[in-house]
Structures are given as C-alpha cells and as structure tokens.
Amino acid sequence: MRDTPQGVEMKLEILLAAVPDLPARFLDLLRLGLAERPRQVAALERWLSAFGVDDASEQGHFSVLSVRVTPSSPARISLYVRPIEFEMRDTLEESRAYEA
C-alpha cells in the first residue's frame, strides 16, 4: 500500500509457485474473471500470443499475478511469465550439478 496524491493505492502480488494447488485451467479462470471486460480479454489474448503462451504448462510458466487498485482507476491485473529459456537453463545446471 502506498499513499499517492490521488489517494491510497494497493498492489497485491501473488507468487504463483507458492500457491499449493494452482488450478490446471488457470488461464480459463482468469479469462472468466475478465468476461465482462472484453477489451481486457482481448489484451490478454494478444499478450499470450506475443509470448507464445497457450497455457501454464507450455513455453515457460506464470510466475506472478499482480492486482493494483487506485481510487481513480479500476483494478489492473498484471501477469508475469517466466520464459522457457530459464527453465532450460535451470535443467542444464541441475544436470551438471548431478554429474559432478
């Protein structure tokens, strides 16, 4: 939470890896939550397409879901993805450590 000239802003960041039972259909639930906001659904689809992400199990995974609310604007949702390159790097490092 922080005080701004327009009032108090709240930002909640959820580390998705720490959620014990993140639903397999996470993106479908997110789309459902945005169903009454067609521009935001379209923006989400463009973002997913730009990053080549179809679901949480392909080409990287989602790392953080952020929700920000201010007195002067509706809730804003941000979704952060961890690119597949990081997954590949971690796997290589783990296999090298295992071989040593």
| Block residue for tokens 């450590």 | 97
Per-residue model confidence as pLDDT tens digits over 13-45: 998 888 888 887 878 888 888 888 889 889 888
pLDDT at res. 47: 83
Which stretches of the chain are assigned E, i.e. beta strand? 2-4, 7-15, 61-70, 73-82
pLDDT at res. 27: 82
71 in Cβ contact with 6 (< 8 Å): yes
Domain ranges for the chain, please list them. Answer: 2-99
Per-residue model confidence as pLDDT tens digits over 42-94: 988 888 888 766 654 443 477 888 999 999 888 888 888 876 655 556 666 67
pLDDT at res. 10: 95
d(Cα 23, Cα 16) in Å, to the nearest integer?
10
